[in-house]
Amino acid sequence: MIYLDHAATTPLPEAVADTMYDVLRHQFGNPSAQYPLGREAKELVEEARRTIAGALGCQPSALHFTSCGTESDNWAIRAAAWQGRHTGRHIITTAVEHSAVLEPCRQLEQEGYEVTYLKPDRTGHISAGQVAEALREDTVLVSVMLVNNETGCLFPVADIARLLKERGSRALLHCDAVQGFLKVPCAPAGWGVDLMSLSAHKIGGPKGIGALYVRPDLRNLRPLLAGGGQEGGLRAGTEATAQIAGFARAVELRRENLEEKLLCMAKIRDYAAERLSAIPDLKILSAPGGAPHILSISLVGWPSQNIVNDLGSQGVCISAGSACHQGKPSHVIAALKLSKKVSGGVIRLSFGPETDKGDIDACADALRRHHDTRMPML
């Protein structure tokens, strides 16, 4: 199998699985329990928190575990809206955010909030200037992702944080960094970001565990889940100790020779762009300077879902945009205002540290066969 869908999820290293199994078998205590087995589980959670916070460059107390990136996004957006309820009811986000951001924003619209959706340019980029133009006195939240999960575009989160500070805005800044953490620079504390969402399974960790960074001096953040008062009273629910330990172990593994891994992924992305460009009717969509692990392309005129199905039958795993869309048209690609033939043929390749040129060659050969043996239908 050739796996080129790391932006959807990543393989779980054996070392991560071993860590999780050991916790499940031998450190299964409830972290809230007061006897030694419980205290041992509590220390495991706190050690994991320190490990992940170290990679994020923040205080451990600023990091709160959740069930996934989607929960982190929902919590951040809902909490920011509540936090600013006396300031206003205006939110700024982009038209190309993950659905985990767009859907809670749409829910808030149903509750009387006004949401400004910033549109990208033809290359998929958003500028801090667009945020500046949309910013109002009653803006309570700006939510902008770090890396777009379909195009690989980097968004200027640090510049936006600086803009909000210069303007003296009371709006909170949330960043969905699920695709960016440990792939591009990511420093919420240094940038001045108020809230940042993370997920483990994009970096070789398990599914079912994420985190939300909360700026340390951001007081009275409203929990999304009410209950037993775990995570400093901010996120109720018994901590998923095995997943948390797996998250931390994945961070440790990914950080080993990280710069070398990122350079290798960038070289693989560039090699893929060069190799695939030789296929007739294939168009590279990802702009230069994007994330090292994502390449968006279009086989112009050939339906993307047919391409994904055909290559899958040959053991090559790619996606038609985000895996979360489950075959539905992508709002991200629609926002780029591409022609029907181009947008209908969009597929995404995404890479991990272990992806090599042989994987790219196999994918390129399969795509060429699809082009040569199937008729265009768009």
Catalytic residue numbers?
324
Q: How far is CA 310 from CA 22, 188, 234, 317, 337, in A?
A: 40, 41, 46, 10, 27
Please state the length of the chain: 378
Give the span between the Cα atoms of 222 and 5, in whole angstroms.
35
- Is the separation of the CB atoms in 235 and 225 below 8 Å? yes
Structure tokens at 258: 């990280």
- In sequence order, what DSSP letters do the residues of 20-59 get, joined into one string? HHHHHHH----TT--SHHHHHHHHHHHHHHHHHHHHHTS-
Structure tokens at 203: 């970096």
Residues 6+ apart with CB under 8 A from 4: 316, 317, 318, 349, 350, 351, 355, 359, 363
Give the span between the Cα atoms of 69 and 66, in whole angstroms.
8
> What's the CA dihedral at 49, 60, 199, 147 to 10 degrees?
-150
Give the span between the Cα atoms of 67 and 30, in whole angstroms.
17
Residues 6+ apart with CB under 8 A from 207: 9, 68, 200, 201
Greatest CA span in the chain, whole angstroms?
67
Give the span between the Cα atoms of 188 and 157, in whole angstroms.
9
In a 13 Å sphere around the CA of 182, the CA atoms on its Cβ side amount to 27
How would you write 285-301 as a 3-class SS string?
CCCCCCCCCEEEEEECC
